[in-house]
Amino acid sequence: MKFVSKLYTTLIYLFLYAPIFVLILFSFNNSSTMSRSVFSGFSLRWYRQLFEDRLILVALRNTLLIAVLAAVVSTVLGTIGAIGINSLKGKWARRTAMNITNLPMVNPEIVTGVSMMLLFVIAMRMLNTDLGMGSLMIAHITFCLPYVIMSVRPKLLQMDAHLYEAAQDLGCTPVQAFFKVVLPQILPGIITGAIMAFTLSIDDFVISYFTSGTTQTLPIYIYSMTRKRISPEINALSTVLFAVILALLFIVNVRQSGSSAKTARLQDAAEEGEV
Amino acid sequence: MKKGIALLLAAVTAGTALLPASASSGSSAKSKDTGVTINVYNWGEYISNGTDGTLDVNAEFTKRTGIRVNYTTYDTNESLYSKLAGGGAEYDVIFPSDYMVSKLSEEGMLEKLDFQNIPNFQYIDRKFRNPKYDPQNAYSVPYTWGVVGIFYNKKYVKKEETESWDVLWNKKYAGKILMFDNPRDAFGIAQKRLGYSYNTTDVNEWEAAATLLKEQKPLVQAYVMDQIFDKMDSGEAWLAPYYAGDAATLVGENPNIGFTIPTKEGTNFFVDAACIPKGSKHKSAAEAYINFLCDPQISAANLSYIGYSTPESAAKKLLPKEVTDNPIYYPPQSILDKSEVFVNLPDKTNTLIDSLWAEVKMGGTGDTLTLVLVLCGFLALYLAIVVFKWRKRKKEME
């Protein structure tokens, strides 16, 4: 039985990580063309080409810029929203508010994308500007918001509702009470929400496609290559992104285990939040 | 090989403004459009971009004219069309294929070009002027061209067999055949085999082609586009139709793979052309860009990167003999005479194609009934669950 469960676990991890491993392997392929099935020696040529390819770099810059800004803005707005929903009086009001915020998550992306495009086209005509970074940013913030609210809300529910009042009784101003008592309690949820928003924004193709105007993000660029073969430069780029995220995770972990007990506790809480 | 040539050409072009035409066009644009940014929307991987020592065409253009380029890419003519029709983006230069040029111009979505601003049009060969898809040559300037041919695995398929489209219906190769995953190209193959025109509006002829495709379906391994390369390279498939311009890389890399253009029935001859969509705010700058692409030096450097064929004899002369003598890139006139270009079809025919294609891929009209039944089944299941839960809750309440 134990053997079977071990085999099962191995297979699961193999399925999860084999594609990434193949991608990393082929980013070092020395094939002068774009072979994805024959490995003909180690080379860094695709990495060199990646950093020479202005189009990919512009698309990458757009993607990262939008992801960071969308994550920051939607986390702030989402946290405020979650606290607001939580403090609504009456079960019905809260439930209705939650259902309204959850709706965009189940709405098909293509519907969201097309409807946003229609709205933006009208709005931009009136303002006499074009779709572009601005509309992309608004769209990304909009579809990230529900996910942030969804990950902050449980932390608010777990928190003792009277802590905030207790802090004020002990002499905190409302602002101090929020930053010193409420925020640390819900921080794991906020971090989870921010990470989720960031990755969702990097991922998104459908909504970006409709709202991007003449700017281009990485998913759109990669998709546009499908008439020909997708260049191994993309393998190289994906490998770099993977390595950067791995390094970030590593640094965060080291910092947390190295510093005070308080952060360790926070980390535990964060992990709990992510599960 | 390709990259090396491009490098050489890049060095030549970057060094001096060799041709008087390119020099004059550069300076005329400089006077009023300097500092303007044009939005260029092209196919993915369809311009020389400066990697590996090739010429960075957009950067070179900015250097010469002072006009900046915001360059973005798309994957199909249809997504280009939907983007333009959606009104969400304003482009100055686009590169639709033949039939899309006629569709866009018929629908009034293209600007008439001012050829005073495109003096380099003189280099475009006679046979590419006034094409069927743009008879007055008012809206488009050809950018690249090519033909459709067949990839085959030399180990299993003989070259002679691939000289006719019949080979894609050969039962011997069942399960080893790939087909285009887009209706116009797939139907085109069936139509050529039947001896019909690609641009027929005869309902019976389209239905006959659909019947032929349905016959072929059990032999087809998959309907794909760029995966053709992987499946051919790994030997998973033995036969696949594809565009000649992209064929040479795979043929050069894998000695088992050959590419022929079916000479028996003829084939599809396609052109991707540069156009200016209606409402472009920087029309003269856009024309300067198109003019720049027509400069034989630039065209040669650009096309040696892309791999498709150039519509200019002057540019062809600058390319090495091994490319221009290669029948994949430049098939003999006898083949070209037999081949035909796509033009836009009336809406009625397009609707017919869509429904016939859906029938081919999904297998028959009977599917609508199945779909309804499946949906009803799901609905019934859903209702059952709701009722069950509701009753359970009611019981608990009691």
Per-range mean pLDDT, top range of A224-233, B3-12, B60-69, B83-92: B60-69
Nearest to B146 by CA among B232, B257, B261, B265: B261
- Average pLDDT for residues B206-224, to the nearest whole number? 93
Stretch B209-214: mean pLDDT, rounded? 94
pLDDT band at A45 (very low <50, low <70, confident <90, very high): confident
Question: Taking CB atoms and an 8 Å cut-off, how many pairs form between chains A and B?
Answer: 106
* pLDDT tens-digit map of B333-343: 888 888 999 99
Asked if the model's pLDDT at residue B151 lies above 70, the reply is yes
Q: Residue B229 and residue A32: Cβ atoms within 8 Å?
A: no
pLDDT computed for residue A192 by the predictor: 87
**Of A34, A131, A228, which has the smallest distance from its Cβ to B44's Cβ?**
A228
Please give the pLDDT value at position B172. Answer: 93
Which residues in B have their CB inside 8 Å of a CB on A? 3, 39, 41, 43-45, 49-52, 56, 58-59, 70-76, 86-91, 225-226, 229-230, 233-234, 246, 249-250, 252-254
* pLDDT, position B89: 75
Question: Can you say which residues of B are annotated as belonging to the binding site for spermidine?
Answer: 45, 99
- Model confidence at B131, in pLDDT bands (50, 70, 90)? very high
- The answer to whether the Cβ–Cβ distance between B249 and A33 falls below 8 Å is yes
Average pLDDT over residues B257-264: 91
What b-and-e string marks burial along B189-225, b requiring 16 or more CB atoms within 10 Å of the CB?
bbbbbeebebbeeeeebbeebbebbbebeebbbebbb
pLDDT over 80 at B398, yes or no: no
Q: Which residue has the higher pLDDT, A265 or A216?
A: A216
Residue A74 to residues A180, A241, A264, Cα–Cα distance (Å): 22, 23, 26
Average pLDDT over residues B357-365: 78
The nearest CA of chain A is from the CA of B91 a distance in Å of 7
Residue B106 predicted with pLDDT over 60: yes
State the angle between helix axes of A45-52 and A232-258 in degrees (0 to 180), rounded to the nearest 10.
90
Residue B389 has pLDDT above 90, yes or no: no
Q: Kindly report the number of other CB atoms within 10 A of residue B243's CB atom.
A: 19
Question: What does pLDDT average to over chain B?
Answer: 87
Lookup result for tokens 């859903």? B382
Average pLDDT over residues B161-167: 93
Residues that constitute the known binding site of B: 45, 99
Whole-number pLDDT of residue B178: 94
Q: What is residue B30's predicted lDDT score, i.e. its pLDDT? A: 52
Rounded distance between C-alpha atoms, residue A87 and residue A84, angstroms: 5
Tell which wins on pLDDT, A114 or A129: A114
Average pLDDT of span A239-244:
88
Q: Does A94 touch chain B (CB under 8 A)?
A: no
From A249-263, B68-82, B294-308, the region with the lowest mean pLDDT: A249-263
Q: Is A2 on the interface with B (CB under 8 A)?
A: no
Interface contact A33-B45, CB threshold 8 A:
no
How sure is the predictor about B31, in pLDDT bands with cuts at 50, 70 and 90? low
pLDDT at A34: 62
What is the pLDDT averaged over residues B53-75?
92
Hey, what are A125's tokens? 């005509």
- Give residue-wise pLDDT tens across range B180-192: 998 999 999 999 9
Residue B367 has pLDDT above 70, yes or no: no
- Kindly state the average pLDDT of the residues B35-55: 89
